[in-house]
Amino acid sequence: SFFVGVSALTESAIAFVAGLDWSPLAIMALILVLYLLLGSLMESFAVMVITVPIVTPLVTKLGYDVVWWGVIMLCVVETGLIHPPFGLNVFVLKSMLPKVPLWTIYKGVLPFVAADLVKLVLLVIFPAITMWLPSTMRCRGTMPAQSGHSPRHPMLLSQVTFAARRRSVFAWERSTASA
């Protein structure tokens, strides 16, 4: 994290992406493919520790919510762990079952990879699915708009998060009025 700050790698990445003149969804698709590749080559914790200081500011500059990005990042990295051809969990399973051919394990994992990819597409296209549970949690002591997690991208402004935010603001106003 110190190295990323000193090297200005985050600012360089943001400037590079801004120069691409792509839509935020296309840039997000590129990031997700990168995370799938990294997830199939490396352990998920290592991928997150290495890439979060660089990619998270980029995602927030695109207008996406940090909580939404955290859920999506975790899902895509975990999908990478079973994604052929280098999914690390596939090789763990092979070491546990040495008599089973690797091709049989890949065929067995393929439906799960397909289901995970469909899940990722749904979570990206319909962010209300991702944000529903966090939107039900109450903010105590601070105004929800001050938490820094308000989505600015119009795709993330769903009715579910809007209604939950309205309930949180109303509850915050009641708690401060009675105090």
- In contact, 150 and 178? CB cutoff 8 Å: no
Q: What is the pLDDT of residue 111?
A: 93
φ, ψ (nearest 5 deg) of residue 140: -110, 125
Closest listed residue to residue 28, CA positions, set 106, 95, 127, 104 = 127
Res 146 pLDDT > 50:
no
pLDDT band for position 117 (50/70/90)? very high
pLDDT greater at residue 115 or residue 131: 115
Residues 6+ apart with CB under 8 A from 36: 76, 79, 80, 83
1 to 8, 9, 31, 172: CA distances (angstroms): 11, 10, 19, 35
Burial of 53 (0-12, 13-18, 19+ CB in 10 A): middle
Tell me the pLDDT tens digit for each residue of 23-54. Answer: 888 889 999 998 888 888 888 888 888 888 88
**Nearest 5°: CA angle at 31, between 26 and 35?**
145
Do the beta carbons of residue 135 and residue 161 sit within 8 Å? Answer: yes
- Is the predicted pLDDT of residue 151 greater than 50, yes or no? no
Separation between Cα atoms, residue 55 and residue 38, nearest integer Å: 13
pLDDT of residue 122: 93
CA–CA separation, 35 vs 21, rounded Å?
Answer: 21
Higher pLDDT pick, 17 / 5:
17
pLDDT in the model for residue 158: 47
Q: Looking at the predicted structure, is the pLDDT value of residue 131 above 70? A: yes
